[in-house]
Protein backbone atom coordinates (compact mmCIF):
# COMPACT_ATOMS: atom_id res chain seq x y z
CA UNK A 1 0.00 0.00 0.00
CA UNK A 2 1.30 3.46 -0.91
CA UNK A 3 1.77 5.82 2.00
CA UNK A 4 0.40 9.35 1.82
CA UNK A 5 1.57 12.31 3.87
CA UNK A 6 -0.46 15.53 4.05
CA UNK A 7 -0.02 18.68 6.04
CA UNK A 8 0.08 22.44 6.18
CA UNK A 9 1.94 25.42 7.58
CA UNK A 10 0.76 27.10 10.78
CA UNK A 11 -1.65 29.46 8.99
CA UNK A 12 -2.85 26.95 6.38
CA UNK A 13 -1.69 28.97 3.36
CA UNK A 14 0.77 26.27 2.23
CA UNK A 15 -0.31 22.64 1.94
CA UNK A 16 1.93 19.67 1.22
CA UNK A 17 1.23 16.19 -0.03
CA UNK A 18 3.77 13.43 -0.49
CA UNK A 19 2.99 9.96 -1.78
CA UNK A 20 5.33 7.00 -1.36
CA UNK A 21 8.05 5.96 1.02
CA UNK A 22 10.60 8.51 2.20
CA UNK A 23 14.22 7.53 1.50
CA UNK A 24 15.22 9.00 4.88
CA UNK A 25 13.61 10.25 8.06
CA UNK A 26 16.10 12.20 10.12
CA UNK A 27 17.11 14.92 12.50
CA UNK A 28 19.90 17.20 11.26
CA UNK A 29 22.00 19.08 13.81
CA UNK A 30 24.11 21.13 11.38
CA UNK A 31 24.43 24.83 12.13
CA UNK A 32 22.20 25.77 9.17
CA UNK A 33 19.40 23.56 10.50
CA UNK A 34 19.80 25.02 13.98
CA UNK A 35 19.37 28.52 12.56
CA UNK A 36 16.52 27.40 10.26
CA UNK A 37 14.53 25.92 13.14
CA UNK A 38 15.43 28.30 15.93
CA UNK A 39 16.38 25.30 18.08
CA UNK A 40 18.99 22.51 18.10
CA UNK A 41 18.04 20.69 14.90
CA UNK A 42 15.65 20.40 11.97
CA UNK A 43 13.76 17.23 11.13
CA UNK A 44 12.96 15.93 7.64
CA UNK A 45 11.18 13.28 5.63
CA UNK A 46 13.20 13.01 2.41
CA UNK A 47 11.63 11.97 -0.90
CA UNK A 48 13.68 11.41 -4.06
CA UNK A 49 11.30 10.62 -6.91
CA UNK A 50 9.98 13.27 -9.33
CA UNK A 51 6.42 14.30 -8.62
CA UNK A 52 6.33 12.62 -5.20
CA UNK A 53 5.91 15.88 -3.28
CA UNK A 54 3.28 18.46 -4.19
CA UNK A 55 3.32 21.92 -2.63
CA UNK A 56 0.15 24.01 -2.89
CA UNK A 57 0.42 27.68 -2.01
CA UNK A 58 3.17 30.17 -2.55
CA UNK A 59 6.42 29.79 -0.63
CA UNK A 60 9.49 31.98 -0.41
CA UNK A 61 13.03 30.64 -0.40
CA UNK A 62 16.40 31.51 0.95
CA UNK A 63 19.51 29.71 -0.19
CA UNK A 64 22.49 28.41 1.73
CA UNK A 65 25.58 26.63 0.47
CA UNK A 66 26.01 23.18 2.03
CA UNK A 67 29.33 21.64 3.08
CA UNK A 68 29.33 19.90 -0.31
CA UNK A 69 29.41 23.28 -2.05
CA UNK A 70 25.90 22.70 -3.43
CA UNK A 71 23.00 25.05 -2.83
CA UNK A 72 20.09 24.13 -0.56
CA UNK A 73 16.88 26.11 -1.07
CA UNK A 74 15.06 26.54 2.24
CA UNK A 75 11.34 27.22 1.67
CA UNK A 76 8.90 28.80 4.09
CA UNK A 77 5.41 30.25 4.18
CA UNK A 78 5.64 34.01 3.57
CA UNK A 79 2.57 34.63 5.75
CA UNK A 80 3.38 32.75 8.97
CA UNK A 81 7.10 31.94 8.48
CA UNK A 82 6.74 28.19 8.98
CA UNK A 83 9.63 26.27 7.33
CA UNK A 84 7.99 23.94 4.80
CA UNK A 85 10.59 22.09 2.76
CA UNK A 86 14.12 22.04 1.35
CA UNK A 87 15.21 21.39 -2.22
CA UNK A 88 18.70 20.89 -3.58
CA UNK A 89 20.18 22.46 -6.72
CA UNK A 90 22.40 19.42 -7.39
CA UNK A 91 19.54 16.93 -6.85
CA UNK A 92 16.35 18.47 -8.25
CA UNK A 93 14.25 15.34 -7.64
CA UNK A 94 14.94 15.42 -3.88
CA UNK A 95 12.57 17.27 -1.56
CA UNK A 96 12.83 17.18 2.22
CA UNK A 97 9.64 18.14 4.02
CA UNK A 98 9.29 19.25 7.60
CA UNK A 99 7.38 16.64 9.63
CA UNK A 100 5.97 19.36 11.89
CA UNK A 101 3.61 20.16 8.99
CA UNK A 102 2.04 16.71 8.94
CA UNK A 103 -1.64 16.34 9.69
CA UNK A 104 -0.58 13.08 11.36
CA UNK A 105 2.81 13.89 12.96
CA UNK A 106 3.12 10.32 14.23
CA UNK A 107 3.85 9.22 10.65
CA UNK A 108 7.37 10.64 11.10
CA UNK A 109 9.68 7.94 12.45
CA UNK A 110 13.27 9.22 12.52
CA UNK A 111 15.99 6.66 11.91
CA UNK A 112 19.14 8.76 12.06
CA UNK A 113 20.85 11.96 13.14
CA UNK A 114 23.15 13.83 10.76
CA UNK A 115 25.79 16.36 11.76
CA UNK A 116 25.85 15.02 15.31
CA UNK A 117 29.29 16.64 15.53
CA UNK A 118 27.52 20.04 15.55
CA UNK A 119 25.01 19.12 18.25
CA UNK A 120 24.47 21.56 21.08
CA UNK A 121 24.52 19.88 24.52
CA UNK A 122 20.91 20.75 25.35
CA UNK A 123 19.49 19.12 22.18
CA UNK A 124 19.81 15.44 23.07
CA UNK A 125 18.36 13.01 20.52
CA UNK A 126 17.11 9.47 21.05
CA UNK A 127 20.29 7.45 21.79
CA UNK A 128 19.14 4.48 19.68
CA UNK A 129 19.14 6.50 16.44
CA UNK A 130 22.09 5.97 14.08
CA UNK A 131 24.42 8.97 14.41
CA UNK A 132 26.69 10.48 11.79
CA UNK A 133 29.19 13.27 12.40
CA UNK A 134 28.39 14.65 8.92
CA UNK A 135 26.24 13.10 6.17
CA UNK A 136 26.23 9.33 5.72
CA UNK A 137 28.11 8.23 2.62
CA UNK A 138 25.56 5.68 1.44
- What is the number of domains present in the chain? 1
Would you say residue 19 has pLDDT above 60?
A: yes
Residue 137, in any domain of the structure: no
Instruction: Read off the CATH number of the domain in which 110 is found.
Output: 2.170.150.70
Q: What is the mean pLDDT of residues 63-86?
A: 93
Percentage of the chain lying above the pLDDT 70 cut: 99
Residue 136, in any domain of the structure: no
pTM of the predicted protein model: 0.92
User: pLDDT tens-digit profile of 34-62?
Assistant: 998 999 999 999 999 999 999 999 999 99
User: pLDDT tens-digit profile of 91-118?
Assistant: 999 999 999 999 999 999 999 999 999 9
Query: Which sign, positive or negative, has the C-alpha torsion 108, 127, 135, 43?
Result: positive
pLDDT of residue 138: 57
Query: What range does the domain containing 36 cover?
Result: 4-131
Residue 14, in any domain of the structure: yes
Amino acid sequence: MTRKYTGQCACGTVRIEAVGEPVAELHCQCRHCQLRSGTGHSSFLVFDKPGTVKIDGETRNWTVVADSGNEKHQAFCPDCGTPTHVTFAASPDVTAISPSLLDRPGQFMPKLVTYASSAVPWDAQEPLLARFDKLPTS
